[in-house]
Structure 1
Amino acid sequence: MKTDITRRRILAGLGATVAAPAILRATRAYAANPTIKVGFVTPSTGPLAGFAEADDYILEGLRAHFAGGITNNGKTYNIEIIKKDSQSNPNRAAEVAAELILSDEVDIITAAATPDTTNPVADQAEINEVPCITTDAPWQPYFFGRGGNPAEGFQYTYHFFWGLEDIIANFTSLWEGSGVAKKVGGLFPNDADGNAWGDADLGLPKPLAAQGFELIDPGRFQPLTDDFSNYISAFKDAGCEIITGVMIPPDFGTFWSQAAQQGFNPKVATIGKALLFPSAIEALGDRGAGLTTEIWWSPNHPFKSSLTGTSAGDLANGFTAATGRPWTQPIGFKHALFEVVADVISRSDDLDDFEANATAIQSTNISTIVGDVNWANGPVPNVSKTPLVSGQWQKDGDGVELVITNNSHAPQIPVGGDLQLLS
């Protein structure tokens, strides 16, 4: 690994959120080809495990593709990907990120799946001055949740995904087309996502009000709560016909079951995070059909891999053929994460220098299987946006299928059906 570790960097590591022993790095023992180590933090277990369902499939394909190495300035580098499980816990995510940086001595660290994973990993990387690329979390809780200043940005940590402005635009377009009353019940947990989505200034309240929607927000609930009675009562009293928010699947399952028991039947339910995965919808039984959510990636997205030339459809179908399970949205973004990594490795002016690698990330301009990634385009430093559409889980034979019903803010992605109100 790197031979130029500084005292400042060691002290920064000791001052990180999770204490970890600083390790002086010896000169790398070069084999025929030197090795670039890439750390990858993901919630393999816990309530966010749906985000990691396709990890093994994606990593198997990537390792096969990288078997011949990556060429940089005429030299071939082997690629080693080291995966760590965050256990869906931000403290654990910080801990394993510190392990990857200080013990495994990775050259680049990556992470995906909600701010509970991306933020603590990025914080460890920034403190220890290690280049970091993350995805699968709206950019506002990633950037502002870490204390980001748009006038300055971060030096080592970069993120690509969509933002809350895209969620708002898609959700309101979907609701406008439904013809239902503009009274919206908000479900926002006391976590990074919930606090960002419900934030009075940066979240949903102001934009919804500007478009004529009345948001009823009874306040934050603790994740894994077992009683939503007060929320349901508030929504019924206000005459809410729309429900929205951002929740983990177990919390929405609890809310949706109690809503049925207490006679609350909204006409549209559009929930972020909880309704992304087929397994979560199947767990809801018949009441899973008709629910709506954001769609960041699908087999119908008109993009292909810069690594393999594989289309979105072929990547999704390959997962189903290999596992027997339906495609999930993180498939594309996990693959794209390593498209960016490979591009950075191939372009860096000096792979033995962290600053050069961070500069290579900053100058990225690549078309991936999830769309273009280019940090020069903002909206703030260290953030590149990808397109977002929305849609609905609709019955498909004996199961359900996620159908794109609204593409008004990303017309290059085709619609697959019309919105149906909940019965």
Structure 2
Amino acid sequence: MLRIEKGARLRKPTRRDVLKYTGAAALGTLAAPALAQERVLRIGFVSPQTGPLAAFGEADTFVLEGVRAALASGIEAGGSRWQVEILSRDSQSNPNRCAEVASDLILRDEVDLILASSTGDTTNPVADVAELNEVPCLTTDTPWEAHFFGRGGNPAEGFDWTWHFFWGLGDLLGVFADMWGRFDTNHRVGGLFANDVEGVALTHPELGFPAPIQAAGYDMVLPGLMTPMTDDLTAFIGAFNEAETEIITGAVTPPDFSTFWTQAAQQGLRSRLKFATIAKAMLFPAAVEALGDTGDGITTEVWWSPGHPFVSGLMGQSAGEFCAAYSTATGRQWTQPLGFKHALLEVAIDALKRAADPKDPDSLRDAIAGTDYQSLVRPVSFGGGPRNPVRNVCTTPLVAGQWKRGTATPYELAVVDNTRATDIPLTGDLTLLD
């Protein structure tokens, strides 16, 4: 019998608590043949497949089908053969919905490991639910500061159950400043940031863009945070016009940037700009194509591309081969999250294989902490090296890209500055906006 001492602080029971006090009784009712058949490992996979962030989930089906096929015969882990089930759930681009599906995966589907990707609106709620329930969790596709500090992370302590790999805000600003510094401008930068996890992190006075941009010699105009899905951005455009900004940067969703870019042309801002360097929204071919002729010359960050010199430890494919396979299978142009979605599953499967007992959360947690794996996006390690700025985080390389008129497709994303990752080849020349 579970006894609660007088005056003890009550907390919500975790999945581990439930299993601890009910598991023995439940096991006693199972027949031996049933136990022999329970060689199944379950992975929860959460991403935005609908809603304003749906572009981040565009490649999910292709990636999941390929990984499931590669795992069809199961994996060896802990001295046994296991089948692997991947349960995919749509966050609907909604943090509340994301927390709900994460809870269902953990408490109802009893996943052994949960994964999440595609901005802090998805990764942070999943990681928080996993940490609460003491379930191992891996995430990617969110600047690491927005993920770690956005969840109240303490660098001296870190987290117990959640790990993340991606680039950071300092990497992003450095890549942007490398591009801007190659041409003469008036050094006035307008900031268009949404009122979401990334926007709050990127506009933080010390940890975000403002202080480093000023230290680099630029004046930043920051009118506030934009309400997502707003239909009137006149106040922002007016502030940028008044300051005579020649550079616009920011992080918003594709629909919100499309609204801004149309109104910027109508209100005379676009004709003066030398750079429009937009994170998040301008990662995707479809988002640039939606701008028509005005997409040419927009700059953005490049997390991953066909030219990245990395190979999948699971499939043996290079980045270029994986992109080609995606285009052949879907008829669509490669997209940056493609590589990171695959890498997320790769790292997860590697941890399951190395765990002494993949069904034991502690064992799997320790396997993740000891990761040193060659993924499709780069080697991922949580061992405390130079690419681990805080516990639980591994950084990945970042270069600069520019959208240019394509031949086989309407637009192609060229790598135009590789100052911070010279092993990633250049594929085009940087030019100013027309």
TM more than 0.5: yes
Partner of 1:261: 266
Distance in 2 separating the partners of 1:192 and 1:288: 26
Shift, 1:326, TM fit:
0.2
Instruction: Report the residue type matching 2:395 in the other structure.
Output: K
Q: Which residue of 1 aligns with 2:201?
A: 196
Answer yes or no: is 1:414 the counterpart of 2:421.
no
Deviations 1:175-218 (A, max 9, x none): 11133221100011111100100110100011111110111101
Partner residue in 2 for 1:324:
331
Map residues 15-34 of structure 1 onto 2, 5 A cutoff: 26-27=26-27, 29-32=34-37, 34=39
Distance 1:251 1:30 in 2: 52
Structure 1 residue 345, shift from structure 2 partner: 0.7
Change (3 A) 1:24 1:328: farther
**1:109-161 C-alpha deviation (Å, 9 max, x unpaired):** 00000000000000000000000000000001100000000010100000000
- Listed as ranges, the gaps of 5+ residues in structure 1 are 1-7, 15-21
Match for residue 41 of structure 1 among 39, 46, 49: 46
Give the aligned partner of residue 351 of structure 1. Answer: 358
SS in 1 for 2:45: strand
Out of 388, 393, 400, the residue aligned to residue 383 of structure 1 is 393
Q: Distance in 1 between matches of 2:48 and 2:173?
A: 26
State the distance in 2 between where 1:128 and 1:303 align: 34
* Among candidates 94, 101, 107, match of residue 96 of structure 1: 101
Q: 1:313 aligns with which of 316, 320, 327?
A: 320
**Which of 278, 298, 301 does residue 271 from structure 1 map onto?**
278
SS in 1 for 2:225: coil
CA distance in 1, matches of 2:13, 2:266: 52
Give the Cα–Cα distance (whole angstroms) in 2 for the partners of residues 77 and 241 of structure 1.
Answer: 57
**2:168 corresponds to 1:158:** no
Q: Does the 8 Å contact 2:78/2:358 carry over to 1?
A: no
Residue among 282, 302, 309 paired with 2:309: 302
Identity rate of aligned residues, in percent?
53
Are the counterparts in 2 of residues 160 and 384 from structure 1 also a CA contact under 8 Å?
A: yes
Please say if 1:396 is aligned against 2:406.
Answer: yes
Where in structure 2 are the equivalents of 1:198-277 lying within 5 Å? Answer: 198-265=203-270, 266-277=273-284
Question: Which residue in 2 is equivalent to 1:141?
Answer: 146
Letter in 1 for 2:424: I
Secondary structure of the equivalent of 2:126?
A: helix
CA distance in 1 between counterparts of 2:78 and 2:191 reads: 52
Separation of aligned partners in 1, 2:218 and 2:253: 24
CA contact (8 A) 1:23 1:102 kept: no
Paired with 1:363 and 1:385, the residues of 2 have a C-alpha distance of 16
- Quote the Cα distance in structure 2 between the aligned partners of 1:326 and 1:34: 38
Cα drift, residue 239 of structure 1: 1.2
Deviation at 1:233?
1.1
User: Contact (CA 8 Å) 1:178, 1:419: kept in 2 or not?
Assistant: no
Cα distance in structure 2, aligned partners of 1:258 and 1:170: 27
CA distance in structure 1 between the aligned counterparts of 2:394 and 2:261, rounded to whole angstroms: 34
Q: Based on CA coordinates, which of the two structures has the bigger radius of gyration?
A: 2
Equivalent positions of 1:107-118 (< 5 A) are 107-118=112-123
Measured in 1, the distance between the counterparts of 2:331 and 2:21 equals 43
Q: Which amino acid aligns with 1:396?
A: G
SS at match of 1:392: strand
- Does the CA contact (< 8 Å) of 2:159 and 2:391 recur in 1? yes
Separation in 1, partners of 2:161, 2:90? 22
Deviations along 1:45-64, one digit per CA (max 9) or x if unpaired, are 00000000010000110000
Q: Give a deviation string over 1:226-284, Cα, whole Å, max 9, x none.
A: 11111111111111110001000111011000000011121100011000000101111
Distance 2:323 2:159 in 1: 34
Q: CA RMSD in A?
A: 1.7
TM-score, normalized by length of structure 2?
0.92
Kindly indicate whether the alpha-carbon contact (under 8 Å) linking 1:9 and 1:129 is maintained by their aligned counterparts in 2: no
Counterpart of 1:390, as a letter, is A
